[in-house]
Amino acid sequence: MAEERPGSWFGFGFCGFGQALGSGRGRQVLSPEPLRLPDAGTDICGVSAAWSYTAFVSRAGRVLLSGSAGGAADGCRDAWASETLLVVLRDGRGPGPGAELQAWAPGSALRGEPLWAQTVAPEAGREDGAGGGTRAGPLPLLPCARAYVSPRPPLYRPLAPELRARRLELGAEHALLLDEAGQVYSWGGGRHGQLGHGTLEAELAPRLLEALQGLRMAEVAAGGWHSVCVSEMGDIYIWGWNESGQLALPARGLAEDGQTVAGEGHPRLLTRTVAETPEHKQVSGRLLHRQIRGRWSWERQRETSMSDTH
* Mean pLDDT of the residues in the chain: 76
User: If you write DSSP's letter for every residue of 260-279 in order, what string do you get?
Assistant: ---EEEEEEEEE-SSS--PP
**C-alpha closest to that of 251 among 264, 266, 270, 235:** 264
Decide which of 126 and 201 is more confident: 201
- Report whether 215 contacts 309 (CB < 8 A): yes
pLDDT digit string, tens, across residues 52-82: 899 999 999 999 998 899 999 999 999 999 9
d(CA 275, CA 90): 44
Predicted local confidence at residue 33, as pLDDT: 78
CA torsion 234-238-242-244 (nearest 10°) is: -30
Decide which of 188 and 247 is more confident: 188
Q: Residues of the chain with pLDDT > 90: what percent?
A: 38
Predicted local confidence at residue 126, as pLDDT: 43
Q: How confident is the model at residue 247 (pLDDT cuts 50, 70, 90)?
A: confident
Q: How confident is the model at residue 26 (pLDDT cuts 50, 70, 90)?
A: low
Q: How confident is the model at residue 122 (pLDDT cuts 50, 70, 90)?
A: low
Cα dihedral sign, 240-147-79-61: negative
The reported pTM is: 0.71
**C-alpha closest to that of 243 among 175, 186, 167, 192:** 192
pLDDT digit string, tens, across residues 164-190: 999 999 998 999 999 999 999 999 999
d(CA 174, CA 195): 7
Q: How confident is the model at residue 309 (pLDDT cuts 50, 70, 90)?
A: very low
If you average pLDDT over residues 204-212, what whole number do you get? 96
Predicted local confidence at residue 49, as pLDDT: 85
d(CA 195, CA 197): 6
Q: How confident is the model at residue 29 (pLDDT cuts 50, 70, 90)?
A: confident
d(CA 81, CA 137): 13
User: Amino acid identity of 22?
Assistant: G
Cα dihedral sign, 132-44-159-217: negative
